[in-house]
Each structure stands twice: as structure tokens, then as C-alpha cells.
Amino acid sequence: MRGSESSVIVIGAAIALGLACGDSGPTGPGGGGGGGTAFYGTIDHSCTDLDQIPSEWISTVQDSFPVHYAHTSHGSQLTVGLERIEDEDATYDVEIGYSYLPEAAGALCIFDGQEWETYITPDLYWETAEGMDYTRDVLDSNPSIRVSMWCWCCQLDYYGEMEVLAYLDSMSQLESEYPDIEFVYMTGNAQATGIEGYQRYQRNEQIRQYCEQNDKTLFDFADLDAWWYNPSTSSWEHHWYDYGGIQVPGEHPQFHGDEAGHTTYESCEQKARATWWLLARIAGWPGP
């Protein structure tokens, strides 16, 4: 049963555009959730205003924070968005290497995938011993990498509590092995409705609670799916549907489409702006 759907308008553009984004841990080494960096907290829809990030922190990310990013098709929303933002403004230069780490001065350098593959399902990053070794291979062979993250596809529509616990345990294990790398946790996309969407919502809440309680860095993909900033009203709109009397966040109708990564270019760009926020905070930017 899909249930009824609704969007709630939230007034207050100044706050909504990021003035209260993310809870930061202590500055300096050791402040992160195992990555030895300056930030832990949540990156969500309130972290999407690029104008608030000082240019020097964009440069710091580009000069000093290479990223390892593994994902399937939904995860390409971030990389597509990053490239589209770069096309509009060369300040946000990004270089993406598919199964390798680019070396480009003045650009955000991203190792996309693992050493031999770019379509990375859970078993190829964290879910199996072999997958964990693939991740270790990338990090061991590219010691300049400062951030590693893996994006869900639709697994959380059917994964249970124990499977998500295995994800959390594997990420924590990698953190302990690589204390100088920030491992970014992620929620799953918010596209499914009905019982699948409710299942995903529960598992996303499990991940959020774990990250909050253990001072981890979370990229809230689902939150970014569910919120759209309406420029005509200068307000954020939150989309949800009713499932058995529970309001379950869902992808905003503005993002319904298949231009890239099973969504719209607008959704890709929103997640890319949040990615710049994420990396700037990890690099040490204290926020606005």
C-alpha cells in the first residue's frame, strides 16, 4: 500500500540554507569519528549553499583531500552533480578517475570504484572479507587518500537490522585500521514507497542513530532526496507519504526523473553541493 503523499513547506530560508548544518566535533587531529580529522556530524539538505563555503576551504579540499568513492548507479548522482557544478563554475574543479586516483593540481581528485571495477555492490566494499580487502588495496596503494565512502543502491529497502549492523561494524573496523582516513557513512536513497520505503526508513534511522551516538560522519542521502528548495517561495519543501499512520520521508516529486543516476540533474547537483560541504568540513572548515 502506497498511502497518501504530502509535502510540508518549511519557512526560514536563512536557517534552512545551512546556518545550522551538521554538528562538529573538536577541531584538530582526532576530532573525527575515527578519521583523525576535524569534523563529525551529519551532512543533509541544510548543507547545500556553496556560497557559504569560503574559497580557501574549497582550495584546501582540492589541494589536500583526495577521495575514494565506491558506489553503484544511484551513487553516480554525486559525481554527475560535481561535474555539472564544475561546468557552471570552474572554481569547483573536479577530476574523477575510474579505478585510479587522478593527479591534478587545483582539483578535487576522486578515485571512483575499486582497483578493477567501478560498479561496487556491498560485497565489493564492506560486506565480505574479500570486499574489505579490495577497499584496503585502494587505500594501501594510494596513501594520499584522506576520505573513503560507499553509497547504497536500494539494499536498504530489504536489508534487515543485522545486515545494517554488519555494515556499521565493517566501517568501524576500517576506521580502526586507517585512523588518518575519514570514513563517511551514508543513508540509502528515499525513492521506494509502501512497505519497501518504510523498511528503508527504519534502516536509515538505525544508521543515523549509530552515527549520532558514536560521533561518526554521515552523508544523509535520503534526507537530500526528500527535501527540495523552492526558489519561488524561498522555502524548503519536505516530501513524505503515509504508511499505516507513519510519515515516511520520500523522494520529492521535483526529483522524479531519470536524467542521471535514476533521478534529475537538479537532485544530482543538490547532492554535489552537499559533498563540497562534507569535504570542506572534514578539511577543517568550522562552518558558517
The answer to the question of residue 243 being in a domain is no
Three-state DSSP class for residue 153: coil
The count of domains in the chain is 1
What are the C-alpha distances in Å from 166 to residues 125, 207, 282? 12, 11, 25
Answer whether residue 3 shows pLDDT above 80.
no
Give CA–CA dist 45/277, Å, rounded. 11
Q: What is the pLDDT of residue 26?
A: 42
* Chain Cα centroid distance, residue 158: 20
The answer to the question of residue 6 being in a domain is no
Contact assessment for residue 177 and residue 132, using Cβ atoms and an 8 Å cutoff: no
Among candidates 153, 156, 157, 176, which has minimal Cα distance to 165? 156
Answer whether residue 230 shows pLDDT above 80.
yes
The answer to the question of residue 50 being in a domain is yes
Answer whether residue 29 shows pLDDT above 90.
no
Give percent above pLDDT 90 in the chain.
86
Among candidates 288, 281, 286, 228, which has minimal Cα distance to 43? 281
The answer to the question of residue 21 being in a domain is no
Q: What is the pLDDT of residue 39?
A: 83
Residue 203 C-alpha cell reads as: 534502516
DSSP state of 259: S
Q: What is the pLDDT of residue 23?
A: 58
The answer to the question of residue 143 being in a domain is yes
- For residue 173, the one-letter residue type is Q
CA max distance for the chain: 53
Give percent above pLDDT 70 in the chain.
87
Q: What is the pLDDT of residue 7?
A: 59
Residue 6 pLDDT level (bands cut at 50, 70, 90): low
Average the pLDDT over 97-116 and give the result.
Answer: 97
Strand partners, 270: none
Span of 15-24, 96-105, 120-129, 146-155 with lowest mean pLDDT: 15-24
Average predicted confidence (pLDDT) for the chain: 91
The answer to the question of residue 5 being in a domain is no
Q: What is the pLDDT of residue 17?
A: 42
Degrees to nearest 5, angle at CA 117 with 173 and 81? 85
Residue 57 pLDDT level (bands cut at 50, 70, 90): very high
Quick: pLDDT tens for 168-186. Answer: 999 999 999 999 999 999 9
Q: What is the pLDDT of residue 38?
A: 58
pTM equals 0.92
Cell 554527475, residue located: 80
Where are any strands of DSSP class E within 40-134?
Answer: 41-43, 67-70, 94-98, 108-112
* Side-chain-side CA neighbours of residue 215 (13 Å): 14
The answer to the question of residue 33 being in a domain is yes
DSSP state of 188: P
The answer to the question of residue 23 being in a domain is no
User: 66: Cβ–Cβ under 8 A, 6 or more apart, which residues?
Assistant: 101, 109, 110, 111, 142, 144, 145, 146, 147
Residue 5 pLDDT level (bands cut at 50, 70, 90): low
Cell 557552471, residue located: 88
Answer whether residue 19 shows pLDDT above 80.
no
Q: What is the CATH number of the domain that holds 218?
A: 3.40.50.1110
- Domain holding 38, by residue range, is 28-228+248-283
